[in-house]
Amino acid sequence: MGPVTPTPWDLTGRVTANEPVSTGLLRLDVALPRTVGFRPGQFAMLNLTGPGQLVFRRPFSIFAADGETMSFLYRVVGRGTALMAALREGDAVDCLGPLGRPFLRPDADTPPALVLAGGVGLPPLHAWAEAHKRPDDLICFGGRDGGDVPWSLLDDRWHVSVDRADGVPPGRQAHEGLVTGLATELLAAYDGPRLVLACGPTPLLRAAAKLARDRGWPCEVSLEEHMGCGYGVCKGCVVPVLSDDLAGWRNATSCEEGPVFDAATLDWDRLGASHGGVA
Amino acid sequence: MGPVTPTPWDLTGRVTANEPVSTGLLRLDVALPRTVGFRPGQFAMLNLTGPGQLVFRRPFSIFAADGETMSFLYRVVGRGTALMAALREGDAVDCLGPLGRPFLRPDADTPPALVLAGGVGLPPLHAWAEAHKRPDDLICFGGRDGGDVPWSLLDDRWHVSVDRADGVPPGRQAHEGLVTGLATELLAAYDGPRLVLACGPTPLLRAAAKLARDRGWPCEVSLEEHMGCGYGVCKGCVVPVLSDDLAGWRNATSCEEGPVFDAATLDWDRLGASHGGVA
Amino acid sequence: MTLPIWWRTDPTQPVRIGPRELPGRIWTASGCFAYGLSGHDIRSLDVGSPYAGIGAVVTKTVTPQPRSGNPMPRLVELEHGAINSIGLENVGHAEFVEAVLPALEERGVPTVVSLAATRPDEFGPMCERLAEVGRGFVHWHGVELNLSCPNVAEGGHDFGSSPATVAECVAAARPHLPDRLLIAKLTPNVAQIAPLAAAAAEAGCDAIAAINTVLGLDIDLETGQPVLPRRFGGYSGPAIRPIALAKCDEIIRQVGVPVIGIGGIETADDALRFFALGCAAVQVGTAQMRDPFAAARMAAALRPDAATT
Amino acid sequence: MTLPIWWRTDPTQPVRIGPRELPGRIWTASGCFAYGLSGHDIRSLDVGSPYAGIGAVVTKTVTPQPRSGNPMPRLVELEHGAINSIGLENVGHAEFVEAVLPALEERGVPTVVSLAATRPDEFGPMCERLAEVGRGFVHWHGVELNLSCPNVAEGGHDFGSSPATVAECVAAARPHLPDRLLIAKLTPNVAQIAPLAAAAAEAGCDAIAAINTVLGLDIDLETGQPVLPRRFGGYSGPAIRPIALAKCDEIIRQVGVPVIGIGGIETADDALRFFALGCAAVQVGTAQMRDPFAAARMAAALRPDAATT
Ligand SMILES: Cc1cc2nc3c(=O)[nH]c(=O)nc-3n(C[C@H](O)[C@H](O)[C@H](O)COP(=O)(O)OP(=O)(O)OC[C@H]3O[C@@H](n4cnc5c(N)ncnc54)[C@H](O)[C@@H]3O)c2cc1C
Ligand SMILES: Cc1cc2nc3c(=O)[nH]c(=O)nc-3n(C[C@H](O)[C@H](O)[C@H](O)COP(=O)(O)OP(=O)(O)OC[C@H]3O[C@@H](n4cnc5c(N)ncnc54)[C@H](O)[C@@H]3O)c2cc1C
Ligand SMILES: Cc1cc2nc3c(=O)[nH]c(=O)nc-3n(C[C@H](O)[C@H](O)[C@H](O)COP(=O)(O)O)c2cc1C
Ligand SMILES: Cc1cc2nc3c(=O)[nH]c(=O)nc-3n(C[C@H](O)[C@H](O)[C@H](O)COP(=O)(O)O)c2cc1C
Ligand code: FES
Ligand code: FES
C-alpha cells in the first residue's frame, strides 16, 4: 500500500461554498478547523444532519484538500444528498477522513496511466491527475451530455466522452459514445503498457478490469459500496476478493481494504451475484 | 355553547411574519388559502414539519384571524416551538382549525368581565377582548417583567402586572406582583358581579376559579392539556369534570369539550392529582 | 408521487374479505379515530372529508363495561413515535350498541367494531348483542377482536399471547357473526406471531390485523422517572413500521389467512410496503392523529390514476 | 448540555460488576466497533481517541468457526434506525484467541469478548480456551454470551428465547470463567424477557445485557421486495430505544441482577435514560457507526464536572 496514509480526523467544518459545476454535479467546499491531508482515492464520511435525521454518514471521495478546505463533488440521488444540496454557507458538516485505501502512487517504474472516470467517479481520479502530472498519462472523463461535464474543472489533459453530444461548449471537444470507446481509440493512438485506473458506474469498472486483464496490465478500480461506518467496524460494506482460503474467496471491507482495489484481486462473479447481478 | 362554531379546515398556509413581540413571546402570521373564522378561545393544530420529524401537531390558541391571515403568539419551550421560531417567510405550515370550545360570547345579561391572562395565556383572551369591547370589563395581563410584556399589543384598556418591574417602558404602567393581586385591587375599586375568564399557568387558573367560586360568579378557564390529535379521536387530552355518574366524575376531552371549561364543572382535586399535583 | 410499476390496485375499490365486501383497503386503526363520528365537519381543499375513500373505520375498542381509562399523562410524543397508555377509555358496550352503532349506520360510515374483554367468554354476548342491533345494517361490516392491548393487564402482558386463548376468543365470537367479518388483532410482543395467527384462523376468523402497539417505556430526563404513570405503554408510529412489516410477513408466509397491516403507516409509500407483502388492507393509526386526512389522502394517492388526475 | 440533578455518577470511574472492576460504564456494543482494534488512529479536537473514557469494548461476536456472513446488502439505513443481517461474519474463535485477544491486551483495550454458538455446549470449550490464553491479561474482563442474534437461525428466531437453553449456555461457560465477568445478552423478541434473565442469573451469570436487535423488515419500494436478501434483519438505532428501556425495566424490577442497557443510545441523554432505570452500564451500538467518538463523547459529557470543565 505504499507509505502510511494521513491521519484521519473527525472535524466539524463549515460550508464555504455549495454550487453546481455542471447540470448534474455540485461542489461542496468545507472549511475545517485544521489541515487534513489525503491521498487521491480516499474518502470522507460526511455527517449531514444532527442525530434524529440520517442514521449513517455518507461517503464521498475527497476531490481536493487545499489548506483547511476540503472539497467534494456530488450528485443528488437520495435523502442525504438532497440534504447536502440544501446546505448553505456557514452550515456545519462533520467530516471524518481521510479514510480508505487510495489509488496507487506512481513511481519511476509505473507505466503511464489510463484514467477512466465516469460521472460522479470524477473526484478521486481528478485528484490523482492533479497530484501526478505525468505527460504520458491518458486521462478520460465520461458524462451524459455536454451539460453534465464540469468543463471548468477539466484542463486540456482531459479527454471527454458524452453519451449525447448536445451542450458541449464551443472550443471544447467530446467523443460521442462510451468512455471505454474513447479509451480504445486513444490506446490505438498511444501504444504501450498502461496502469488502468477507474472510478464510476459498475459497467465502466468491469470494462476497465477486462481491458487490463486482456492485456495483462495492472488495474485499480474504486468501488462504491454502501457504507455504515466507513472506518471498518460494521462489516456492512464487504466485497468478495479472491484468496487462497479453502473457499477461494473472502470478504474485504471496502472502507478499509478499499474503496480502491486491485482489479485482479476482486471476485467479479461473486460481486455481480451479491449485488443483484449488476452487470 | 351558543351558536355553532365555524367550520374547521385543514389548510396549508405560508408564513408571512414570525417575529418577537416581547422578550419571551413571538408572533407568527400565516397566510391561508382561504378565510377561516374562529371564536376567541378556539385553537389550531399546527403541523410544523413534514412526516419524519414531529409525530404530533402542536396546539396554539388563535390570536387573530384577519381575512386569510391567522396569527398566533407563542413562547419557545421545546422541540416544536424551537422549530416554529426557525420558520421563515414563505415556509409552509399546515393549520387545522378552529377547534374546541370557545370562551363564552357575552350577551346583554352577561355581567362585566374580569379577564386574567398570564404570559402565553394572552392570545385567546386578547382575541376575546378585541371581539367584545365592553366598557366595564376589567382586562388584566400578567408578565414576568417589563420586557416580557408585549406592550404594542395591549391598548390602554389593559391593566398589566409584572413579577419584577424592570423594563417597563416610559409612559406605561405596571402593578408589581401577581396578576391576581392586581385583580383584587381592581375588584376593590370596581364593585359588582363579574364573569371571570382566565388563561395562563395552572396556579392562575386555580386562583381565578377560587375567586369566582368564593363570590358565586361564573368563571371560565382555558386549560393547556397535552394533545395528540386536537380533534377528539385519541383521548390523550382528558381532564376530569364533575358528573352525576356513580363515580361523581368523568373524563372530558379538552380538545372538544374544552380547552375552555366552566370552572365549576372541573374536578380540580382530581385534576391536580392526575397532573403531578400541579398546584 | 410516482407509484411503483408493480402497483396496479385501486385501494378505493371494493374488496372482499371473508364474508363481506368493504368499500376499500385503507382503513383507520382502533383508538386513533374514535368511534368514526369525529371529524366529519373538518374540511380540506384536496380531499373533501377525512372519511373520503376510507374502507373502514375500526372503532375505539369497546369493553363490556364503560371505562374511564388510565390517569394522565397517557399519550406522550417520542422522537420517532408515540407511547400511550390510554387504558381503553370507552363508553361501554351497552351505550355503544344503542347510541353509537346506529349513528354510524345512519351516517354511512363503513365500520368494524373493536371489542376487548378480560375473559374470552365475554366476547360471545358482546357479539350476539351487536348482531342483534346491527341486523340489516349495511355499513357495519364486522368485529375486530383486540387480543393485544398491552396497557390493561398487569405488567403490560396480555392473554392474547397464548394460541389457545386466542382460539377461545375467536371461537366465542364466531357463531354470532355468521355473515360479518371477524378479525383477530394480535400483539407483536411475542417471540412468534404466526402460531397465534394460525390458532385464530383455525378457530374461524376471516383475517388477522397486525400489529397492535409494541411495549415501550420512556424516561422524563428531568425527574428520571418514566413518562407514563404506569411505566410501560404502547409504542406506535413510524419507529415500529419495520417491526410491523416483519410480523405481517411472518403471518403471510406461514399462515394462509388475509392480513390487515398496521404499524407506522404515515404515507402512501408506507402503505405500499404492506401491500407489497400481500396485505389485504392496511390501517392508519398514529398518523391519523397528526392528520385527520391521513388515510383519505393515502387512498387518493394510491389510486393508479392518481398521477394523471 | 445540563446534567439532571439526580445524576451524580462519573461514568469514567471504575465500576465493579460481578468479579471485575471495569474502567467505566459507557461501553461499545458487539458488532458495532469490530474487535476493538479499529479506529485507534482517528483523532478529534474534543476527545483525543475514540477509546477515551470507554469502560469496555464488547467485541464483534466470535463463533467456533470463521464465518463470512450473509450476502450483501446486509446493512440498510431506515428512517429511524438501521436493519442488518451481517450474519456474524468473524475470524473464528481460534484466530481470535491467538491473534486478536493478545493484541487487545497489548493495546490496553478494556475488552469483553462476545461469543455465539449454535449449540449450548460449544460455549464451554470456547471459554476454556479464552481463559487459557487470557490468563493474566488485565484488560480482558470477560465474556458476553450472544444468545440472541436473530439473523443466523432459520426464520430469524433463535435458541436464546427459551429459559432452559439460556441457562444451559450460561452453565456451560461459567466454570471456565471463575474470575471473569460473564454476561448473558438477551433477545427482545420474546413476550417476556424477565424469565430469561432470571434463568441466566440463576445459572450463574453476573449481568444481563439487553437488548439485541429487534426483528424487522423493510421493503424496497421500487421492486416491492424486502431490502435484505434474507427478508428479515435486526432492527437497531434510535427507533428501538423505548423498547429497550421497557425490557431493561422489566428485568431490573423483576430480577435482582445487574443490567447493561443497549438500544438506540445516541446521546448522553439517551444513556441517562438507561441509568435512570438503574442500569449498571450501557453499550453504544448503531450510533458508534455514525460517530467513532459517540461513546467517548458520551462518557465525557456525563462526568458530573463536564459542565464546568
Ligand atoms: C467510497 C465512496 C466514495 C463516493 N464518492 C462519491 C462522490 O465523490 N460523489 C458522489 O456524488 N457520490 C459518491 N459516493 C456515493 C455517495 O456516497 C452516495 O451517492 C450517497 O451516499 C447517497 O446518499 P443519499 O442519502 O442521497 O442516497 P439514499 O439512496 O437515500 O441513501 C440510502 C443509503 O444508501 C447509501 N447509498 C446510496 N447510494 C450509494 C452509492 N452510490 N454508494 C454508496 N452508498 C450509497 C447511502 O450512503 C445510505 O446509507 C461515494 C460512495 C463511496 C462508497
Ligand atoms: C389549547 C391550547 C392552546 C395553546 N395555546 C398556546 C399559545 O397560544 N401560545 C403558546 O405559546 N402555547 C400555547 N399552548 C401550549 C403549546 O401547545 C406548547 O407550548 C407546545 O405544544 C410545546 O411544544 P414543544 O414541542 O415546543 O414542547 P415539548 O415539550 O418539546 O413538546 C413535547 C410534547 O408536549 C406537548 N406540550 C408541551 N408543553 C405543552 C403545553 N404547555 N401545553 C400543551 N402541550 C404541551 C407538545 O404538544 C408535545 O406533544 C397551547 C396549548 C393548548 C393545549
Ligand atoms: C392513542 C392510541 C390509542 C389506541 N387505542 C387502541 C384501541 O383501543 N384498540 C386497539 O386495538 N388498538 C389501539 N391502538 C393501537 C393502534 O390501533 C395500532 O394498532 C397501533 O398504534 C400501531 O399503528 P400506528 O403505528 O399506525 O399507530 C391505539 C393506539 C394509539 C396510539
Ligand atoms: C451492524 C450490526 C452488527 C451487530 N453485530 C452484533 C454481534 O455480532 N453480536 C451481538 O451480540 N450484537 C450485534 N449487534 C447488536 C448490537 O450489539 C446492539 O445490541 C443492537 O444494535 C442495539 O443497539 P443499538 O440500537 O445501539 O445499535 C449488531 C448490530 C448492528 C447494527
Ligand atoms: S462501512 Fe463499516 S466496515 Fe466498512
Ligand atoms: S387531543 Fe386527541 S382527543 Fe383531544
Beta-carbon separation of A96 and D42 below 8 A: yes
Q: Count residue pairs from C and D with Cβ separation < 8 A.
A: 124
Work out the average pLDDT over B242-270. Answer: 93
For B196-231, give the DSSP string: EEEESSHHHHHHHHHHHHHHT--EEEE-----SSSS
Instruction: With CA atoms as reference, report the closest residue to D250 among C293, A208, C157.
Output: C157
C-alpha cell at D124: 464451554
Residues 6+ apart with CB under 8 A from B28: B15, B17, B18, B71, B72, B73, B74, B84, B87, B93
pLDDT beyond 90 at D153: no
d(CA D293, CA C235): 30
Q: Give C132 to chain D, closest Cα distance, Å.
A: 37
Q: Is the CB of C236 under 6 A from ligand 3?
A: yes
- Give, rounded to a whole angstrom, the gap between the first and last alpha carbons of chain B: 29
Element (H, E) at B251: strand B249-253
Specify the amino acid at residue C264. G
Domain boundaries defined on chain C: 15-306
Q: Cell 418514566 sits at which residue?
A: C226
pLDDT tens digit sequence for A47-63: 987 655 789 999 999 99
d(CA B197, CA B261): 10
**Which ligand sits closest to the CA of A260?**
1
Q: Are C143 and C96 in contact (CB under 8 A)?
A: no
Specify the amino acid at residue B193. P
Choosing from A235, A251, A261 the residue with most ligand 5 atoms within 8 A of its CB, the one to mutate for a pocket test is A235
CA nearest to D57 within chain A: A233
d(CA C59, CA C183): 13
Ligand 4 atom 5 nearest Cα: D31
Q: Give C250 to chain D, closest Cα distance, Å.
A: 8
Question: From the CB of residue B279, how many other CB atoms can be counted at a distance below 10 Å?
Answer: 8
Q: Could you tell me the pLDDT band of residue B206, with boundaries at 50, 70 and 90?
A: very high
Atom of ligand 3 nearest to the CA of C212: 19
d(CA A119, CA B183): 73
pLDDT the model gives residue A278: 33
CA nearest to A238 within chain D: D72
C-alpha cell at C274: 404492506
Specify the amino acid at residue D291. D
pLDDT the model gives residue B5: 79
Choosing from A18, A58, A95, A223 the residue with most ligand 1 atoms within 8 A of its CB, the one to mutate for a pocket test is A58
C-alpha cell at D135: 490468563
C-alpha cell at C263: 404499524
The fold adopted by the segment(s) A9-99 is Elongation Factor Tu (Ef-tu); domain 3 (2.40.30)
Mapped onto helix, strand or coil, the DSSP state of residue D58 is strand
Q: Is the C-alpha dihedral spanning A37, A40, A42, A45 positive or negative?
A: positive
Interface test with C, best of B14, B231, B245, B267 (most C CBs within 10 A): B231
pLDDT the model gives residue C261: 98
Cα–Cα distances in Å, from C154 out to C147, C187, C267? 15, 15, 34
Q: Classify the phi-psi angles of A53: left when phi > 0, otherwise alpha if psi is within -120 to 50, otherwise beta.
A: alpha
Least confident of A26-35, B202-211, B240-249, C29-38: B240-249
Q: Is the CB of C115 under 6 A from ligand 3?
A: no
Mean per-residue pLDDT of chain B: 92
pLDDT beyond 70 at B275: no
Pairing mode of beta strands C207-210, C259-262: parallel
State pTM to two decimals. 0.96
Collect all residues of chain B within an 8 Å Cβ-Cβ radius of residue C266.
51
**Which residues sit opposite C144 in a β-bridge?**
C114, C183
HEC letters along chain D = CCCCCCCCCCCCCCEEECCEEECCCEEECCCCCCCCCCCCCCEECCCCCCCCCCCEEECCCECCCCECCCCCCCEEECCCCEEECCCCCECCHHHHHHHHHHHHHHHCCCEEEEECCCCHHHHHHHHHHHHHHHCCCCCEEEEEEECCCCCCCHHHCCHHHCHHHHHHHHHHHHHHCCCCEEEEECCCCCCCCHHHHHHHHHCCCCEEEECCCEEECCEECCCCEECCCCCCEEEECHHHHHHHHHHHHHHHHHCCCCEEEECCCCCHHHHHHHHHHCCCEEEECHHHHHCCCHHHHHHHHCCCCCCCC
- Touching subunits for chain C (3+ Cβ pairs under 8 A): B, D
pLDDT the model gives residue B238: 96
More confident site: B275 or C245? C245
d(CA D147, CA D61): 10
Collect all residues of chain B within an 8 Å Cβ-Cβ radius of residue C72.
225, 238-239, 274-275
Mean per-residue pLDDT of chain D: 94
For C97-150, give the DSSP string: IIIIHHHHHHHT--EEEEE--SSGGGHHHHHHHHHHHHTT-SSEEEEEEE---T
Atom of ligand 4 nearest to the CA of D237: 25
pLDDT tens digit sequence for B72-84: 999 999 999 999 9
Is D279 one of the catalytic residues? no
Q: Could you tell me the pLDDT band of residue D283, with boundaries at 50, 70 and 90?
A: very high
Q: Hey, which residues of C are catalytic here? A: 149
Q: Phi/psi of residue D206, each to 5°?
A: -90, -25
Q: Is the CB of C280 under 6 A from ligand 3?
A: no
The fold adopted by the segment(s) B113-222 is Rossmann fold (3.40.50)
Collect all residues of chain C within an 8 Å Cβ-Cβ radius of residue B9.
42-45
HEC letters along C202-214 = HCCCCEEEECCCE
Domain D15-306 class, CATH top level: alpha beta
Instruction: With CA atoms as reference, report the closest residue to C149 among C193, C87, C91.
Output: C87
Choosing from C26, C27, C28, C32 the residue with most ligand 3 atoms within 8 A of its CB, the one to mutate for a pocket test is C32
The pLDDT profile of chain A, 279 residues, written as one tens digit per residue, is 445 679 999 999 999 999 999 999 999 999 999 999 999 999 999 998 765 578 999 999 999 998 899 999 999 999 999 999 999 999 999 999 999 999 999 999 999 999 999 999 999 999 999 999 999 999 999 999 999 999 999 999 999 999 998 999 998 999 999 999 999 999 998 989 999 999 999 999 999 999 999 999 999 999 999 999 999 999 999 999 999 887 899 999 999 999 999 999 999 998 875 543 332
d(CA C217, CA A62): 43
Q: Give B247 to chain C, closest Cα distance, Å.
A: 10
**Which residues sit opposite B189 in a β-bridge?**
none
d(CA B31, CA B89): 10
C-alpha cell at B153: 399589543
Block mean pLDDT (10 aa), chain C, length 309: 90 97 98 97 95 98 95 95 96 97 98 94 96 97 87 54 93 97 96 96 98 97 96 96 98 96 97 98 97 97 75
pLDDT tens digit sequence for D106-145: 999 999 999 999 889 999 999 999 999 999 999 999 999 9
Domain boundaries defined on chain A: 9-99, 113-222
Q: Give C223 to chain D, closest Cα distance, Å.
A: 7
**Which of D78, D83, D242 is opposite residue C78, by nearest beta carbon?**
D242
Beta-carbon separation of A55 and D43 below 8 A: no
Q: Are B109 and B218 in contact (CB under 8 A)?
A: no
Question: From the CB of residue C140, how many other CB atoms can be counted at a distance below 10 Å?
Answer: 25
